[in-house]
């Protein structure tokens, strides 16, 4: 195999696939890109056996064939080349030769015959959505995905497609994020699945620029196609928890506060909070709230007062400062944020005061028991 392409086209074309390649693997072959050249079309594939990604690049083909490229070394080397034409050749002794002007480098690579079979997807049914919308939905939910491998269903994003609405949900038991976006053009039956967070992070990185994303359905797989690039992921098995049951319907105490001021105050308080519990205390009364923090072990403490609009019974409530900051970072519509609260020990609903057009964003945050 031998071809030539510009440094920028190689870097821009292969960089999105780097997120799929495992940093370490008991199968060293998985740390490589699989490349196949036919004419002037180079097909490049990366997989970790759970998530697979394929892209097609237009190059100047010099010799058809298949080869593996050591992903990390190849990208690092290409990244520091000037933007000139680079010739890539797989030699008979299993080396990858890079030539550009007066520069020549040789990289070692695994044998192409050892690369696993890459999954394909039945494309009988597909759903199309705007790239920017899908990217936004992933970014608004990925922060609340659990890292607890003992609860695998919570380590992914729950996705449900209705005829006129797309929904994503994530939760780790401490926080929950739910976003609905209205759409048109899907006439199939409602579908639901749990998608691994690694796959969704990669999909978000794929969704750059203007255009659409095709979502392709398989029996236990899901595909995302953006232009010449396709990602296929296995789905997480099992049933997603009944998230609707934990969203309170009668939180009658309402706190409205300037989002930026609140975020900065929580950030200052978090610096002196206990490093394990990250606990802060909110004292809510009428037209102001007091934010208090104390770390008995280190002898740190602090407090400050913010103006707000609070309707309801006076309340002292504790939160993990990191969780509050994570939630506030997702609010980007309007200057204020609304907390709908029940009791000091029950889940609170967090919403923007203004919603994006055709969007409904809701988050949940659990309080912590005050010391």
pLDDT digit string, tens, across residues 222-252 = 999 999 999 999 999 999 999 999 999 889 9
Residue 92: what pLDDT?
A: 84
pLDDT digit string, tens, across residues 26-54 = 899 999 999 999 999 999 999 999 999 99
Instruction: Please state the rounded mean pLDDT for residues 275-300.
Output: 92
Residue 370: what pLDDT?
A: 83
Name the superfamily (CATH) of residues 126-244.
DNA Polymerase III, subunit A, domain 2 (3.10.150.10)
Please report the sign of the dihedral spanned by the C-alpha atoms of residue 213, residue 157, residue 161, residue 355: negative
Say what the pTM is: 0.89
CATH of domain 2-114: 3.10.150.10
363's CB contacts (< 8 A; 6+ apart) are: 144, 175, 176, 177, 178, 327, 330, 349, 350, 351
Tokens of residue 258, six digits: 């300037």
**CB-neighbour burial class of residue 354 (10 A; exposed 0-12, middle 13-18, buried 19+):** exposed
Instruction: Please state the rounded mean pLDDT for residues 103-110.
Output: 93
Place of tokens 């504790």: 318
Instruction: Please state the rounded mean pLDDT for residues 293-307.
Output: 91
Tell me 368's DSSP state: B
Residue 349: what pLDDT?
A: 97
Band the pLDDT of 334: cuts 50, 70, 90: confident
Place of tokens 């392409």: 5
Name the class of domain 247-365: alpha beta
Task: Please tell me whether residue 356 adopts helix, strand or coil conformation.
Answer: coil
- The residue among 173, 133, 139 whose CA lies nearest residue 153 is 173
- Beta strands across the sheet bearing 175-182: 191-196, 156-162, 165-171, 175-182, 359-365, 348-352, 336-341, 253-258, 309-311
pLDDT of 197 over the 70 cut: yes
How many Å apart are CA 190 and CA 222, to the nearest integer? 15
Task: Please tell me whether residue 103 adopts helix, strand or coil conformation.
Answer: strand
Tokens of residue 128, six digits: 């199309």
Q: Where are the domains of the chain?
A: 2-114, 126-244, 247-365
Residue 127: what pLDDT?
A: 86
- The residue among 335, 349, 340, 334 whose CA lies nearest residue 260 is 335
Percent of the chain with pLDDT over 70: 99
341's CB contacts (< 8 A; 6+ apart) are: 251, 253, 254, 255, 284, 312, 315, 317, 348
Task: Please tell me whether residue 361 adopts helix, strand or coil conformation.
Answer: strand
Tell me the angle at which helices 321-328 and 259-271 cross, rounded to the nearest 10 degrees: 150
Domains 2-114 and 247-365 share a fold: yes
Cα–Cα distances in angstroms (integers) from residue 200 to residues 28, 104, 300, 310, 354, in the given order: 24, 37, 39, 37, 26
With residues binned 3-state (H G I as helix, E B as strand, rest as coil), the percentages for the chain, rounded to 5, are 20, 45, 35
Least confident of 6-15, 17-26, 59-68, 143-152: 17-26
pLDDT of 170 over the 80 cut: yes
Band the pLDDT of 119: cuts 50, 70, 90: confident
Percent of the chain with pLDDT over 90: 82
Place of tokens 């892209």: 55
**Per-residue b or e along 324-342, where b marks 16 or more CB atoms closer than 10 Å to that residue's CB:** bbbbbebbebeebbbbbbb
Residue 34: what pLDDT?
A: 96
């Amino acid at each position: 195999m031998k071809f030539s392409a510009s440094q920028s086209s190689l870097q821009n074309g292969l960089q999105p696939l780097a997120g799929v390649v495992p940093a370490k693997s008991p199968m060293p072959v998985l740390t490589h890109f699989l490349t196949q050249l036919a004419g002037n079309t180079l097909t490049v594939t990366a997989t970790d056996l759970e998530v697979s990604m394929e892209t097609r690049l237009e190059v100047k083909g010099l010799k058809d064939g298949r080869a593996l490229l050591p992903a990390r070394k190849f990208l690092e080397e290409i990244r520091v080349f000037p933007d000139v034409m680079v010739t890539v050749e797989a030699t008979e002794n299993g080396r990858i030769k890079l030539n550009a002007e007066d520069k020549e480098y040789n990289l070692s690579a695994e044998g192409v015959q050892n690369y696993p079979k890459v999954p394909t997807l039945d494309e009988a049914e597909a759903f199309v959505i705007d790239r920017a919308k899908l990217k936004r939905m992933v970014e608004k939910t990925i922060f609340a995905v659990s890292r607890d491998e003992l609860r695998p269903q919570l380590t992914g994003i729950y996705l449900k497609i209705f005829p006129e609405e797309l929904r994503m949900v994530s939760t780790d038991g401490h926080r929950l994020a739910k976003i609905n976006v209205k759409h048109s053009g899907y006439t199939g039956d409602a579908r639901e699945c749990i998608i691994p967070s690694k796959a969704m992070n990669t999909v978000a990185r794929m969704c750059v620029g203007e255009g659409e994303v095709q979502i392709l359905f398989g029996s236990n797989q899901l595909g995302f196609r953006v232009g010449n690039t396709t990602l296929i992921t296995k789905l997480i098995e099992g049933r997603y928890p009944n998230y609707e049951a934990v969203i309170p319907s009668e939180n009658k105490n309402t706190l409205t506060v300037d989002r930026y001021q609140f975020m900065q105050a929580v950030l200052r308080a978090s610096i002196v909070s206990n490093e394990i519990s990250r606990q802060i205390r909110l004292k809510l009364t009428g037209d102001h709230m007091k934010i208090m923090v104390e770390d008995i072990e280190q002898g740190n403490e602090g407090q400050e007062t913010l103006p707000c609009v609070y309707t309801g019974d006076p309340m002292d409530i504790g939160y993990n400062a990191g969780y509050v900051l994570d939630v506030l970072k997702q609010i980007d519509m309007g200057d204020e944020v609304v907390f709908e609260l029940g009791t000091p020990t029950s889940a609170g609903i967090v919403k923007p005061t203004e919603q994006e057009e055709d969007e409904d964003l809701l988050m949940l945050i659990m309080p912590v028991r005050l010391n």
